[in-house]
Structure 1
Amino acid sequence: MVKLNYKNYQIEVINDSNYTINSIDNLKVYDTVFFQANEDKDKLYSTSKCVIIVKKSDTKIASAIICESGGVTAITQKSFIIEDDRIWICVCNKVYCLEIPSLDLVWRKEIDFITNFSIHKVEEDFIIHGELDIKRITKSGEIIWSFGGRNIWVNPEGKTEFNIENNTIHLFDFESNEYILDFNGNVLLDNPKPSTEKNWMDVLKIAQEIKKNKPL
């Protein structure tokens, strides 16, 4: 859960994993339910259920739950941005833009094919850290540029996959290949992991061969 103040409003962003679409057994009811998949087929497979509540003087003005299927998006202070009486929020592989305080939908678009980890303000646009791609988008959701590395933007070695510093974007992919981009998507540094280092697939294959007592 994330709570913050915006102008005269109190805004809460919450995960409600127990919510089931069209169920009369839900413990909480929301003013608006955003869900565009086939309800009969997919209602049990909504992997992220993100709730936004807008209050004023502790009185609820509007509430909405966004239900999406795909890679799960964690609710953190980096999963949404609020400004100009709107909230832009990552839910699975979509980004939603809603008005504040009504929470009416402005737009909804798929940005990454799998999932969006975080959203960051850069100049007058946003940078999306997706699992497959890093993208710069406008406030209306138009993609300005997209960058993909040699592997996905998740790093099992504990390196920070995405970081913005000194007006540049610093990246490490799954294999720990390093990249630095400027805000226009130009590659300033492309530093591959040394080939002498075994990547995780190599290690896995060796372990499997040893287990089977087969020669490498």
Structure 2
Amino acid sequence: MTFEIGKYQVELLDDSDYNPDSNDNLNKYLKNYLTESDFELPTKIGIKILENGTELNSVIIGAEGGATGLHKTSQIVDSNRIVICCSDSVFCLDLPTLNLNWKTKVDMAAAYEILKIENGFIIHGELEITRIDSDGKIVWQNGGADIFVSRNGNEDFEVKDNFVKATDWDNRIYKWNLNGVEIE
């Protein structure tokens, strides 16, 4: 995936085969924000900043938990930062330096989607729906009776001006206001 942000191009790469101990990686990165783990990280995302086709900065990020991927709602890219889901965490990186502003573990398993709201973000996780503020601090987290993934593959997660709605595996619907209080 590539985004145009002012004079920069931001390139996101699924680089889950990246091995920090190998010289044979397809891509090289100037920075490394891989979570230390005794296990192989299931998702690694490469981020490159280019200007007129010339690479200025690059970073590899990765976290523990379940595997996630890159898609239209797995990240938010704006003029001065990228906020991106990767496994069980959300990373916030400064643009164009790719310095790590913060990293927050937002789910016990996987963080699938991030949506911007006033003064923060809502994250659709496998086990929890989480609200974080603009500095990555958890405001609230709510779970359900089962995972927040639908059996039929429908998009069963939405964020509106004043509520969050999620559906679990058994088609139970959960609805919270933006303060995390269940409303239906």
Determine if contact 1:97/1:105 at 8 Å carries over to the other structure: yes
Determine if contact 1:160/1:171 at 8 Å carries over to the other structure: no
Moved over 6 A (4+): none
| Secondary structure of 1:19's aligned partner | coil
> Which of 93, 110, 115 is the matching residue for 1:120?
115
Which structure is richer in relative contact order (CA contacts within 8 A, separation 6 or more)?
2
Identity %: 33
Structure 2's unaligned 5+ residue stretches are none
User: Aligned equivalents of 1:7 and 1:167: distance in 2?
Assistant: 31
For 1:1-216, what aligned pairs fall within 5 Å after superposition? 2-38=1-37, 41-42=38-39, 45-83=40-78, 85-165=80-160, 167-189=162-184
Q: How far 1:167 moved relative to its partner?
A: 3.5
Larger Rg: 1
User: Aligned equivalents of 1:36 and 1:176: distance in 2?
Assistant: 34
**1:199 aligns to what?**
none
Q: Which amino acid aligns with 1:14?
A: L
Q: How far 1:166 moved relative to its partner?
A: 5.4
Q: Deviation per CA, 1:123-181: give whole Å up to 9, x if none.
A: 12100111111111011111111111121101113343311245422211111001222
| Secondary structure of 1:188's aligned partner | coil
Q: How far 1:84 moved relative to its partner?
A: 5.1
| Secondary structure of 2:27's aligned partner | coil
Query: Which has more strand, going by share of residues?
Result: 2
User: Aligned equivalents of 2:34 and 2:160: distance in 1?
Assistant: 36
Alignment TM-score, normalising by the size of structure 1 = 0.80
Structure 1's unaligned 5+ residue stretches are 190-216
User: Aligned equivalents of 2:183 and 2:157: distance in 1?
Assistant: 15
Specify whether residues 3 and 84 from structure 1 end up closer, same or farther in structure 2 by C-alpha distance, changes over 3 A only. Answer: closer
Q: How far 1:61 moved relative to its partner?
A: 0.8
Alignment TM-score, normalising by the size of structure 2 = 0.93
**1:204 aligns to what?**
none
User: Aligned equivalents of 2:7 and 2:133: distance in 1?
Assistant: 26
User: Aligned equivalents of 2:4 and 2:59: distance in 1?
Assistant: 18
Q: Which amino acid aligns with 1:22?
A: D
| Two-structure CA RMSD over aligned residues (Å) | 1.5
Determine if contact 2:122/2:130 at 8 Å carries over to the other structure: yes
Q: Which amino acid aligns with 1:3?
A: T
Q: Which amino acid aligns with 2:25?
A: N
Query: Which has more helix, going by share of residues?
Result: 1
| Secondary structure of 2:91's aligned partner | strand
Specify whether residues 27 and 171 from structure 1 end up closer, same or farther in structure 2 by C-alpha distance, changes over 3 A only. Answer: closer
